[in-house]
Chains A and B, each alone.
Chain A
Amino acid sequence: MSADLPVLVHWILFLPLGAAALQALLLRRQGALASWLSTGAAFVGAGLALRILLTSEADVRWHAELARLGEISVGVGYLVDAHARLMLFVVTFVGALIHLFSVGYMADDGARGRFFAGLSVFMFSILGIVVADNLLMTFVFWELVGFSSYMLIAHYFDRDYAAAASRKAFVVNRVGDLGFILGLAFCLSRFGTLQFEELRALSPAGGWPFALGALLACGFVGKSAQFPLHVWLTDAMAGPTPVSALIHAATMVAAGVYFMARIFFLLDPSLLQIVAVSGAGMAALGGLCALAQTDIKKSLAYSTLAHLGIMACALGLGRPELALLHMAMHAFFKATLFLGAGSVIHGCHHEQDMLKMGGLLRKMPVTAAAFIAATLSNCAVPFLAGWYSKDAVIEAAFHSGRVAEAALLSVAAVATCLYSARMIRLVFLGTPASEEASHAHESPWTMTLPLVVLGLGYSVFGGMLATAMVPASALSTVAGPLGAMTFHAAAPATVVGLAALVLGVLALRFYTAEPGRDALRDRMPRFYALLEHRWMDGLYRWYVDSVQRRVAELVAFLDLLLINGVLVRWVGAGIPALLGFLSGRAFHGGQARAYAAWTAAGVIFIAWILIAR
């Protein structure tokens, strides 16, 4: 059985790539066929991943050399351990359902072939990160994930904001990747290998260098939208909603967390402290900013930033297994929320402004049920999926005496309940605030089925299923933390969680203003504006406009003045004059034939000298 496992991984990895190649080359105009091909490949992948999850206890290892660059061996290989098995399952399962959702959501799109080809390329890329057995291969797929994200954000390329958002996402991710590259070089230089297992077997005297982890973590900061490279994620919502669900909520952004768990052994404790504080801060800030968004997808994007912060904090607290557990749970409920948002947007004739929605509970009952279930999970209502992981992180912060992190995570927990309540109130309760909302309709089965499976099935029962159904030996990642954490009413995390829920219920009342109004903006306009303003974007814009552009223009000017002007003019005047003097005839500017003839003459002359030797 185990001998076949690498073959199974080959299939999981290359099926989507094959589908993408077929779509790009042959099915560009056959949108329906392309969409089902891509979806079929995703479901087969999910089935194979489930088989690996349930039947494999041993790690899957396979390695081959792709090329040699001097003394550096460039290899591809798989290391599918417990973490990777969980991630494989999460990515393929959520991915397959989002593919199915997309079949309905993108049914009227004229570029379905391109869209599904992009999804398939993304699946190939993210799965490569999951199974990679070395840092270089991880980086290869890391870059490919960035590309597929770029392509999918730019799906509506004829709109300026989508074009700008795709570039922003790619470039900001590349800033992180620059650090990743330096980390690769540092690792190779110090330890002579990029293989995870070979690195793990080393135990450097004095511990792992801070710089190694810090450089590699730059990739995580970019990909998982951590401060200060978080600015691309909210703009990335310019892509179609299933893209937001799959890439910018469930998987791609989680890849950074997975990667950090993969290299956790080489992260320096002081680096982890920074990651913990930064993550907790991001969690609080993301949650609060979500309160000041009217676009449903952007509000969810800030929520994602908050949850990524929670995962980062778990890593920083030294609990990578908790980070992965939350990553898995978050993937399920956040995918549901995004797909639910997509269903709402689809039902409201592409309206995304929550202030123009309202009363959709009756018009879209299946969507509403799934969305609300996932929201409750997001709010960590006890015994729902989110509760298992999120409260565990908060509890871990309290338990290890990290007051600052615990306080920031508590703020995040409260903020989560507030923005969730606001979302439910504005979108599903009350009365419709626009024509679009009043004519809303439920989505087709291809869209509601994934919502039901993900929302009702996994958001609600995810944690219980994880503990009850999945063999602990095959899934120590989940079983471990659940077994280790104890929940009781007096635990600080439980108190915080329940308090947050109470505040959430109160928020439902707070937001019962007239339709089309935001109560917080009406009552506390300055606070709302503070949360709404994109401070870091402003800083980056200033840097690009006032620093980078001016430096580039200065360099271009100096090139023109000093090099092209002085040097070339000098040579341009001097050489022809010299040649003209030597030849006894006048040269005129522009007579390139004459120069060409001189070159030829020179060559013949030199050749003659050499032959005559």
Chain B
Amino acid sequence: MAALPAQLLQAVVATPVATGLLLIAGRRLPRALGDWIALAGFVLPAALAPWLLLTWTDLSIPPEAFRSGGPWGFGLSLNGFSAPLLAMTSIVGLAAGIKAMTQDVEARHAYLGLLLFMLGGTLGVFATDHVVGFYFFHEFALIPTFILTLFWGGEGRRPAAMQMAIYLTVGAMASLAGILLAVDAAGLDWAGATFEGVADALLAKGAPRAAGALTLFGLGTLASLFPFHSWAASGYSAAPTPAAMLHAGALKKFGLYGLALLGLTSLRVTEGALGGWLLWLALGNTVLIGLVCLTQVDLKRLVSWSSVAHMGPVFLGLWVAGARGSASGLDAAVLLMTAHGLSCAALFLLSNDVRVRAGSYRFEEMGGLASRAPVLAAMFVAASMASLGLPGFGNFWGEIGVFLSLRAEPLWIQALAASTVVITAVYTLRAVAAAFFGPESAALARRAEAAPFGDIGWTSRLAAGLLLAALVAVGFMPSLVTDSTNRVSADVVKYARPAAKTPSAR
């Protein structure tokens, strides 16, 4: 009999999957009943996962209490990186769920069921330490993402879904090949192929370079590493808002999480030429994609592009951790992954509320919305400020942590990395001004005359409020995340630069 935390971890993953199955199987269920089932699937993980994070950081409870076997041959467990990411995913999932349940869509049960599958899969990614298990969960989440985009997406959904499917399939296959090569080189059986097991086995002999390259570029593609990013902007833009929230906010972190726990430790992707590539490409995300953001004229595409640009500092944090042995880079990267998930989801959510009112995502058709929707404006400004790394929100600690962890690098590298604080401010505040400030646009006035609209309702406030509250909580108490990441980051750094040889469970 597994301990209580392990049982709750199982419940976190199983509930959305089970409720999703119920909804898809029970297409003829009454709408209200279906909604209650979906609500349970979204709420339960959000109630349990943050509690698990707090429990995990209680050092008096042994890590084994969070571990349990599973029917697939791999078990569920938590580690210092996954605990905050699991909590973040559950909150993003609840916000996405609330948004989805307020939408008027065809085949509602299937829509909600697929979203629950997506959530269950994403939670699963962060709830197992098995190197193929976590991949399995990622695929489990990805397939409903494609379907959701294809059938419930917006303008340009077919080519976007196809492009996304191709990119992510190729990326997933490449990373799987890398993972399998690593497992093979480690000579482990199925049960032993955990992050720690593979890292231990490869500590002395090292992994084939091909495994490192495949994993870096495969997982990099899934996390929209420059120049394998093209799927992201069109994919998120075309996806229905709840799917974009979950994908850009949580599921995309699979690639980064995999790089942190497998790429840095077992495959040492930051060593040698590969490491050099990672540095340059991460700067590409930060600076070049940041510049692309400056040219956007559509709010949802801007949010999509900016989520690609924001991966730059995360990759830099991972790079400096592996290449220079900086645990601060890792702590900051995971902190930024957690916070970005929340802020990015909030921006997708609120952008949709803007579109509902303005009738379009295009800046030229917006303007002056703050007068009619002050709460929407305030929440959008807050999410934007989180996104541009304002203190008081979790993103700040992640970004500044990455910049400080780069302190031993040449000044030009630091300057390019930190240039994101200016570039992000320019395009983010431009979006805020275009949507909310200035006199009311003629298009908006016409729409308001034809069909009067007001501020966002309580469901949007609740959904965005959850995300913003979590961001503020991490902003004021970064230790909520770092207490969990601290120990594992020190160990990962030891594996990445194998001078030290003492792995630890946490």
Chain A residues positioned under 8 Å from B422 (CB to CB) = 171, 174-175, 178
Task: Report which of A174, A564, A591 forms a contact with B425, defined as CB distance below 8 A.
Answer: A174
Q: Are B370 and A592 in contact (CB under 8 A)?
A: no
**Given A158-B439, A592-B162, A595-B162, A167–B405 Cβ distance below 8 Å?**
no
Task: Report which of B165, B483, B486 forms a contact with A596, defined as CB distance below 8 A.
Answer: B165
Asked if B365 is an interface residue, CB under 8 A from chain A, the answer is no
Contact with A along B132-162 (1 / 0, CB 8 A): 1001100100110011011000000011011
Asked if A228 is an interface residue, CB under 8 A from chain B, the answer is no
Whole-angstrom CA separation of A571 from B406 in the bound complex: 35
Contact with B along A116-154 (1 / 0, CB 8 A): 000000000000000000001001110110010011001
**Given A589-B162, A595-B165, A596-B147, A66–B479 Cβ distance below 8 Å?**
yes
Chain A residue at minimal CB-CB distance from B168 = A599
Chain B residues positioned under 8 Å from A492 (CB to CB) = none
Asked if A555 is an interface residue, CB under 8 A from chain B, the answer is yes
Chain B residues positioned under 8 Å from A69 (CB to CB) = 328, 331-332, 335, 397, 401, 404-405, 478, 482
Report the minimum CB–CB distance from B289 to chain A (whole Å): 8
Q: Are A181 and B437 in contact (CB under 8 A)?
A: no
Query: Which residues of B392-416 are within 8 A (CB) of A?
Result: 392, 396-397, 400-401, 403-408, 411, 414-415
Q: Are B150 and A181 in contact (CB under 8 A)?
A: no
Q: Are B165 and A70 in contact (CB under 8 A)?
A: no
Q: Are A147 and B385 in contact (CB under 8 A)?
A: yes
Interface of B is mostly: helix
Q: Are A592 and B132 in contact (CB under 8 A)?
A: no
Asked if B390 is an interface residue, CB under 8 A from chain A, the answer is yes
Chain A residue at minimal CB-CB distance from B436 = A157
Q: Are B180 and A610 in contact (CB under 8 A)?
A: yes
Report the minimum CB–CB distance from B147 to chain A (whole Å): 7
Whole-angstrom CA separation of A576 from B159 in the bound complex: 13
Whole-angstrom CA separation of A458 from B227 in the bound complex: 61
Whole-angstrom CA separation of A603 from B172 in the bound complex: 9
Q: Interface residue count for B (Cβ, 8 Å)?
A: 94
Q: Are B437 and A154 in contact (CB under 8 A)?
A: yes
Whole-angstrom CA separation of A143 from B388 in the bound complex: 11
Contact with A along B413-429 (1 / 0, CB 8 A): 01100110110011001
Asked if A369 is an interface residue, CB under 8 A from chain B, the answer is no
Asked if A513 is an interface residue, CB under 8 A from chain B, the answer is no
Report the minimum CB–CB distance from B12 to chain A (whole Å): 22
Asked if B433 is an interface residue, CB under 8 A from chain A, the answer is yes
**Given A144-B392, A174-B425, A592-B146, A611–B173 Cβ distance below 8 Å?**
no
Q: Are B190 and A611 in contact (CB under 8 A)?
A: yes
Whole-angstrom CA separation of A260 from B378 in the bound complex: 34
**Given A559-B288, A575-B170, A181–B429 Cβ distance below 8 Å?**
no
Task: Report which of B142, B229, B479, B490 forms a contact with A67, defined as CB distance below 8 A.
Answer: B479
Query: Which residues of A69-87 are within 8 A (CB) of B?
Result: 69-72, 74
Asked if B8 is an interface residue, CB under 8 A from chain A, the answer is no
Task: Report which of A159, A575, A603 forms a contact with B139, defined as CB distance below 8 A.
Answer: A603
Whole-angstrom CA separation of A114 from B375 in the bound complex: 11
Report the minimum CB–CB distance from A356 to chain B (whole Å): 24
Q: Are B414 and A182 in contact (CB under 8 A)?
A: yes
Chain A residue at minimal CB-CB distance from B144 = A596
Asked if A548 is an interface residue, CB under 8 A from chain B, the answer is yes
Whole-angstrom CA separation of A144 from B73 in the bound complex: 50
Q: Are B292 and A555 in contact (CB under 8 A)?
A: yes
Whole-angstrom CA separation of A141 from B230 in the bound complex: 37
Q: Are B438 and A159 in contact (CB under 8 A)?
A: yes
Q: Are A185 and B429 in contact (CB under 8 A)?
A: no
Chain A residues positioned under 8 Å from B169 (CB to CB) = 575, 595, 598-599, 602
Chain B residues positioned under 8 Å from A602 (CB to CB) = 169, 172-173, 176
Whole-angstrom CA separation of A143 from B406 in the bound complex: 21
Chain A residues positioned under 8 Å from B408 (CB to CB) = 189
Chain A residues positioned under 8 Å from B166 (CB to CB) = 571-572, 575-576, 595
Task: Report which of A74, A143, A177 forms a contact with B478, defined as CB distance below 8 A.
Answer: A74
**Given A66-B478, A158-B371, A170-B425, A611–B404 Cβ distance below 8 Å?**
no
Chain B residue at minimal CB-CB distance from A188 = B407
Q: Which of A69, A178, A185 lies at the interface centre, i.e. has the most chain B CB atoms within 10 A of its CB?
A: A69
Chain A residues positioned under 8 Å from B482 (CB to CB) = 67-69
Whole-angstrom CA separation of A185 from B404 in the bound complex: 5
Q: Are B418 and A181 in contact (CB under 8 A)?
A: yes
**Given A158-B437, A182-B418, A189–B407 Cβ distance below 8 Å?**
yes
Query: Which residues of A528-580 are within 8 A (CB) of B?
Result: 548-549, 551-553, 555-556, 559, 563-564, 567-568, 571-572, 575-576
Q: Are A74 and B397 in contact (CB under 8 A)?
A: yes
Chain A residues positioned under 8 Å from B139 (CB to CB) = 599-600, 603
Contact with B along A343-380 (1 / 0, CB 8 A): 00000000000000000000000000000000000000
Contact with B along A177-208 (1 / 0, CB 8 A): 11001101110110000000000000000000
Asked if B44 is an interface residue, CB under 8 A from chain A, the answer is no
Q: Are B407 and A186 in contact (CB under 8 A)?
A: yes
Whole-angstrom CA separation of A556 from B180 in the bound complex: 36
Q: Are A164 and B227 in contact (CB under 8 A)?
A: no
Report the minimum CB–CB distance from B389 to chain A (whole Å): 8
Query: Which residues of A500-537 are within 8 A (CB) of B?
Result: none
Q: Are A158 and B403 in contact (CB under 8 A)?
A: no
Asked if B454 is an interface residue, CB under 8 A from chain A, the answer is no
Chain A residue at minimal CB-CB distance from B440 = A158
Whole-angstrom CA separation of A154 from B180 in the bound complex: 55
Q: Are A591 and B162 in contact (CB under 8 A)?
A: yes
Task: Report which of B132, B142, B327, B415 forms a contact with A599, defined as CB distance below 8 A.
Answer: B142
Asked if A109 is an interface residue, CB under 8 A from chain B, the answer is no
Report the minimum CB–CB distance from B88 to chain A (whole Å): 17
Chain A residue at minimal CB-CB distance from B420 = A178
Whole-angstrom CA separation of A549 from B419 in the bound complex: 16
Q: Are A163 and B437 in contact (CB under 8 A)?
A: yes
Chain A residues positioned under 8 Å from B401 (CB to CB) = 69-70, 72
Chain B residue at minimal CB-CB distance from A587 = B162
Q: Are B159 and A555 in contact (CB under 8 A)?
A: no
Chain B residue at minimal CB-CB distance from A603 = B139
Chain B residues positioned under 8 Å from A188 (CB to CB) = 404, 407
Contact with B along A15-37 (1 / 0, CB 8 A): 00000000010001000000000
Asked if A606 is an interface residue, CB under 8 A from chain B, the answer is yes
Asked if B274 is an interface residue, CB under 8 A from chain A, the answer is no
Asked if A607 is an interface residue, CB under 8 A from chain B, the answer is yes
Q: Are B397 and A164 in contact (CB under 8 A)?
A: no
Task: Report which of A157, A571, A610 forms a contact with B132, defined as CB distance below 8 A.
Answer: A610
Q: Are A70 and B421 in contact (CB under 8 A)?
A: no
Chain A residues positioned under 8 Å from B436 (CB to CB) = 157
Q: Which 8 A-B pairs have the closest CB atoms?
A: A70-B328, A70-B327, A163-B437, A189-B407, A595-B165, A185-B407, A67-B478, A592-B161
Given contacts A549-B295, A592-B161, 13 further A-B contacts (CB under 8 A): A68-B331, A70-B328, A71-B328, A72-B404, A141-B391, A143-B391, A163-B437, A171-B429, A177-B421, A185-B404, A185-B406, A563-B227, A610-B132
Q: Which residues of A contact B (CB under 8 A)?
A: 24, 28, 66-72, 74, 111, 114, 136, 139-141, 143-144, 147, 150-151, 154, 157-160, 162-164, 166-167, 170-171, 174-175, 177-178, 181-182, 184-186, 188-189, 548-549, 551-553, 555-556, 559, 563-564, 567-568, 571-572, 575-576, 589-593, 595-596, 598-600, 602-603, 606-607, 609-611, 613
Can you name 13 A-B pairs with beta carbons within 8 Å?
A70-B326, A70-B328, A70-B329, A136-B400, A158-B440, A160-B437, A166-B433, A184-B404, A552-B295, A555-B292, A572-B166, A598-B169, A607-B136
